[in-house]
Amino acid sequence: MTDTRIKIAAGLERAFAARGFAEPSVEDLRDAAGFSLRTLYKYLPSRADMVLAALEHRHTRYLARLFDDLPEAPDVALDALIDRIGAWMARETSHGCLFHGAVAADPGSSRLREMLQRHKGEVAHRAAAATGLPGHETELLIIMEGLTQTWSLQGDAVTGAKRLAHSLRRRDG
């Protein structure tokens, strides 16, 4: 991505995270991107392209936030990963997953479904590798998704997610 495209995608990500996918007008998105409408459409010629660019930016940020400098010890990495998801939810989006929100707003979009699948697959794969739980990608994804979806209902559910995650290790141990 070019610097301009990255800046546009970052602004769009903030707008969609704050206001959803249906509410922001093109003018709102232009303002959030911080560029003229002409520049916005030069880089992202449709609203669908804007949503995908915002999600791609989110994907990159989320992976970095969760996995950069994660402790090497699997048990410690497991706790740190779940703590980082909780911190992400508290700071970034207390109302659920932006990727699921995008698919819900446009359920017929195969591009959005592919993006959701790629995002969740990569998160699960990297989580299993970092925590020493290969073969448990599905279980880890269920725990992480449960944490993000539960957050909007009851807030911090990090302790429960950690208990469930550590039960995987005990079961295999």
What are the Cα distances from residue 5, in Å, to 37, 53, 71? 13, 8, 32
pTM summary value: 0.92
Domains observed in the chain: 3-172 (1.10.357.10)
Going by C-alpha positions, the residue among 160, 156, 125, 121 that lies closest to residue 143 is: 160
Per-residue pLDDT of 3-40, as tens digits, reads 999 999 999 999 999 999 999 999 999 999 999 999 99
